Amino acid sequence: MSVLPFDKRDGFIWMNGVMLPWADAKLHVLSHGLHYASSVFEGERAYGGQIFKSREHSERFKNSARLLDFEIPYSVEELDRVKQQVIDANKLSECYVRPIAWRGSEMMAVAAQNATINVAIATWDWPSMFDMATKMNGIRLDIADYRRPDPLTAPCNSKAAGLYMICTISKHAAERKGYADAMMLDWLGRVAECTGANIFFTLNGVIHTPIADCFLNGITRQTVIELAKRRGIEVVERRIMPDELDGFEECFICGTGAEVTPVSEIGPYRFTPSAVSRALIEDYAAEVQPKQKAA
C-alpha cells in the first residue's frame, strides 16, 4: 500500500506561534532534538472535530518536557486552543493530533541549556483502524527481545522520543514475522506493555493489567480502567509474569491509535476475544464521541 510521505502532504502545521504551510514546517539538521533525543511528543485523537481529553494530553506534554529538563513555553490553555485551531485550519474531523517539542540548534553537545525550545503541532486524517468484526478476530503479538527499562535508568513517565527507539526495533522485528505488534517485558522479565499500547488480560470476569511504573500510564489506559469500573468489572493492577499468560481468557490492548483492540495470540499463548473486550470497545467508542453541551 502506497502512503504519501509526511513531508509531501498539504495543509497547515503550527510551529512556534505561526500557522505555516505544511511544507514550510522544518528544523535544521543540527537540531539538538535530532542528535540527542531531547524531544517529547503527544499522540491525540479527535472525534467529530474535538480532541478526546485534550487537557490531559497537554498537561502530560508539559510534564514530559520537565522530566527532560526543559519547559514548553506555552500554557496548557494555549496548547489546547492551538490544537483545535490546527484541526480547524486543516478542515479535519476524525484525525490524529501530534504536538512535539524539541531543543533547537543553538548548542550541539550533550549539554544544551541555552537551546531554544521549539514546539509544533500537526494533524492528519486517521479514521478508526478496524471495524468491530475485524477487531473481534483479535491481533497477533510477538514477544519482544528488548525490555522496558528500570525506572532508575530512564525518565519512564515522559513521552520522550528516545524511549521509543526499542519500540520501533521491536515492532519491525514482529512485523517481519507476520505479527501486528510485540509485547514487551520489563527489566525484571515481567509483562509490561506493547510497543505503543498498554495491555490487559481477563480471568473469571476480573481484568488484570501490569503496574505502570516503567512505562506510561496511558490516558487511554486510565479511561479503559474507569469504563470497566463503571460496569462493575474489577480491575487489578499487579505484577504479571509471562508464564501466567497461559491461564488468561481474554487479552486486549489500548492506546490512542489502537483504541481498544483484542488480542488472539501472544507468541505461544492463545486468547479468545469475548464479552469483556466487546463491551469495552463499545464503551470506549461511546466515550470518545463529542458530548453535546446543554442548552
Q: What is the pLDDT of residue 1?
A: 47
Residue 62 predicted with pLDDT over 80? yes
Q: What is the pLDDT of residue 295?
A: 43
Asked if 160 and 40 count as a contact pair (C-beta separation under 8 A), the reply is yes
- Chain centroid offset of residue 110 CA: 27
Evaluate if pTM is beyond 0.75. yes
The CA R_g of the chain, rounded to the nearest whole Å, is 20
pLDDT in tens, 238-269: 999 999 999 999 999 999 999 999 999 999 99
pLDDT in tens, 68-99: 999 999 999 999 999 999 999 999 999 999 99
Length of the chain measured in residues? 295
**Beta pairing class for 259-266 and 139-148:** parallel
Q: What mean pLDDT, rounded, does the chain reach? A: 95
Bridge partners, residue 266, by sequence: 141, 269
Residues of the chain with CATH 3.20.10.10: 132-287
Band of the pLDDT at 139, cuts 50, 70, 90? very high
Band of the pLDDT at 292, cuts 50, 70, 90? low
Residues of the chain with CATH 3.30.470.10: 6-125
Asked if 271 and 250 count as a contact pair (C-beta separation under 8 A), the reply is yes
Sole residue written with cell 512485523: 175
Asked if 91 and 125 count as a contact pair (C-beta separation under 8 A), the reply is no
159 is catalytic: yes
CATH topology of domain 132-287: D-amino Acid Aminotransferase; Chain A, domain 2 (3.20.10)
CA distances for 37 relative to 1, 41, 107, 148, 216, angstroms = 30, 11, 14, 17, 18
Residue 112 predicted with pLDDT over 90? yes
Q: Which residues, at least 6 apart from 216, have a Cβ–Cβ distance to it below 8 Å?
A: 156, 157, 159, 193, 198
**Beta pairing class for 191-194 and 198-203:** unpaired
| Rounded Cα–Cα distance for residues 206 and 290 (Å) | 29
Band of the pLDDT at 294, cuts 50, 70, 90? very low
Of the candidates 62, 83, 135, 159, the residue annotated as catalytic is 159
| Rounded Cα–Cα distance for residues 114 and 100 (Å) | 19
Q: What is the pLDDT of residue 3?
A: 79
pLDDT in tens, 152-166: 999 999 999 999 999
CATH topology of domain 6-125: D-amino Acid Aminotransferase; Chain A, domain 1 (3.30.470)
Which amino acid is located at 1 in the chain?
M
Asked if 152 and 188 count as a contact pair (C-beta separation under 8 A), the reply is no
